Structure 1
Amino acid sequence: MTDPKPYVRVAAGLIFDTRGRLLLGQRPDGKAWPGWWEFPGGKIESGETVEQALVRELEEELGIRATRVYPWVVHVHEYPKSIVELAFCQVTAWDGEPHGRENQALDWVDPWDIRLDESEHPIAPGGGSLLPAAAPPLRWLRLPTRYRISSIGHPDRTTDWLARLRQELLGGLQLVQFREPDWAGDADSLHAAFEATLALCRQQGARCLINSRHPQAWWPQADGVQLRADDAARILQQDTRPPGWLGVSTHNEQDLAIARQLQAEFVVLGHVHATESHPGSDPLGWDRFRELAATAGRPVFAIGGQALDTQEAARHNGAHGIAALRGQLIETC
């Protein structure tokens, strides 16, 4: 019997400057994977929170004091000799000027310029390889942070919905879900509203997912599917992953476990606050949301009373972004 691989917990910082560039560090000689590029950070010591560990590591490694740290996604990666649990955080403010205190090279890069090779390994703009564990967060960074969910309700309101949606798309919205649980018209009018929503999103370069409550025959038309929790459990049993992007609506540990097994691109978790759509149902609150989000293993959208003025709180509690039926998601003049 071989000895089990050591399990190491690491805090890793995706450090962004005001131009949106991402800081990479090159592993020096004498360490494992010398010459490979990585996100700065290091091991979480006993008794430390993720944020405390990251602040300490960035000061030791880069000579900066992080002042704005957002917990993001916890991802487990198995290397040949170890299993590493990486608690990725986004860092957007700090005191001091980053410099390699361990004689490591540093480089600011546009994350959109980092590509994946044929083996899905990330390659920096200069041609250097990033550690394999960097691939998932680089993909997650391409996921929009605001998720609009339709709430039309009646065929007569479709025109107004499309006008509002157009303004949001022009304002930068990039991800939409078509979800109409209480449609007051017939199936033809519902399908027409879906197709009009999909066409408008594509015209503006946004993705439109369809909720799994709608006919499965419609799913291939969309850019992906948002599975209700019960539908996700059924799909898992059938072993038939829907085409395109996959989101899963979650409320508890069991739902999140199913989303992980389905390898969903993201989850929607809630509801965080009391809402009209969940009368009489107890909200999670931010503490419980943060606890659950840390186990998702992928980006999490907070839902339930979310709008632009809750976005900061959502990020501080581990959300990638916010999802909303009614709340304002785009700045208006």
Structure 2
Amino acid sequence: MHVMAGVLIDAQGRVLLAQRPPGKHLAGSWEFPGGKLEEGESPAAGLARELHEELGIQVTAPGESLIRVPWRYGDRLLLLDAWILRQWESEPVSLEGQALQWCAPDAVDLTMLAPADRPILRALQLPARYPITPADVAPESFDAWHERLVRALHAGERLILLRLPRWPLERVRELADMLLPVARLQGAQLMLSGDLDGARELGRGVGVQLKARQLMALETRPLPWDQPVGASCHEAGELIHASAVADFATLSPVATTATHPDQAPLGWDAFRQMVDGAALPVYALGGMRDEDMTTAQRGGAQGISGIRGFW
């Protein structure tokens, strides 16, 4: 079942949520408004029709594809196809008995959303860039990299992975702790590489990027909802498993990398096929540079992640 979801964003940057009324599946949960496509209907036409029937609005400009979420509720398999809309006529009103509310995306409690709608909110919250610190940074470069990361946060980076394998674990945690006030002020998230205990210790604003072996050993997300969980994936099975454990994933290597020149890249066709089966936002990783952003997003990616091309 192909279901369209409208992510309506107003002039204040708020998003519209609708509550499922009594008597419906997942009654009381909040969701993005929309509904089923009819046979032969295009996604844009179907979404416009559903929003007119549900909210009384007339869509006046094409939407922008955000994420496609394959999901299973019991025996029912659906594809939730979310599009961002910024222009419409009339004020949205409840025409089907549902409660409505406008919310700042970062203020929404994920637990109040229907499970299939949570990846949509995550895709809306996450940035398009996900830089990773270089693996060859020496511990003696602590001060220099602290300054560099502060500049990056002030320059607009909103998600940074502190992957520093040459550093003692406590030193990486110390760096994250020093960066945390700036990150919180800027609305950014810091990610630790595989260090769940460190993320739990530092709390809100610090998440973890799970390594593939950690990911496959988990059955549920390992951190509270206000701490992001990423997953490092390299094949379809890992990516599908990440949908139950993480908020987002990286999929690599998409292209040939300088650090692993002998590793065969996935290529964009395989990347797209794997992303189509994943129910979470996915970053393209491996040989990525800023000029790859458009190609990545056309291939279904949240955006791009990288090391050398980002610093």
Q: TM-score range by the shorter chain?
A: 0.7 to 0.9
- 1:57 corresponding residue in structure 2: 46
- 2:15 corresponding residue in structure 1: 22
- Structure 1: how far apart are the matches of 2:35 and 2:230? 31
Match of 1:267 among 239, 246, 249: 249
1:299-323 deviation line (CA, Å, top 9, x unaligned): 2222223344433433332222332
Task: Give the alignment's TM-score, normalised by structure 2.
Answer: 0.73
Match of 1:279 among 247, 255, 261: 261
Summarize the Cα distance change of 1:90–1:241 in structure 2 as closer, same or farther, 3 Å threshold.
closer
Letter in 1 for 2:46: E
| DSSP 3-state at the match of 2:160 | strand
Greater shift after overlay, 169-178 or 101-110?
101-110
- Structure 2: how far apart are the matches of 1:292 and 1:106? 36
Letter in 2 for 1:200: M
Give the conservation status (yes or no) of the 8 Å contact 1:144–1:174.
Answer: yes
Summarize the Cα distance change of 1:37–1:254 in structure 2 as closer, same or farther, 3 Å threshold.
closer
| DSSP 3-state at the match of 1:306 | coil
Greater shift after overlay, 140-149 or 98-107?
98-107
- 2:55 corresponding residue in structure 1: none
- 2:5 corresponding residue in structure 1: 12
Give the conservation status (yes or no) of the 8 Å contact 2:5–2:32.
Answer: yes
Match of 1:170 among 126, 140, 154: 154
Q: Which has the higher helix share?
A: 2
- Structure 2: how far apart are the matches of 1:271 and 1:132? 29
- Structure 1: how far apart are the matches of 2:68 and 2:25? 24
Give aligned pairs, total. Answer: 293
| DSSP 3-state at the match of 2:144 | helix
- 2:279 corresponding residue in structure 1: 297
Give the conservation status (yes or no) of the 8 Å contact 2:131–2:310.
Answer: no
- Structure 2 stretches of 5 or more lacking a match? 53-57
| DSSP 3-state at the match of 1:58 | helix
- Structure 2: how far apart are the matches of 1:325 and 1:41? 38
Q: CA RMSD in A?
A: 4.1
- Structure 2: how far apart are the matches of 1:191 and 1:132? 34
Summarize the Cα distance change of 1:99–1:38 in structure 2 as closer, same or farther, 3 Å threshold.
farther
Summarize the Cα distance change of 1:19–1:101 in structure 2 as closer, same or farther, 3 Å threshold.
closer
- 1:69 corresponding residue in structure 2: 64
1:197 paired with 2:189, answer no
Task: Give the alignment's TM-score, normalised by structure 1.
Answer: 0.69
- Structure 1 stretches of 5 or more lacking a match? 1-7, 123-130, 184-188
- Structure 2: how far apart are the matches of 1:240 and 1:33? 21
Identity in percent: 32
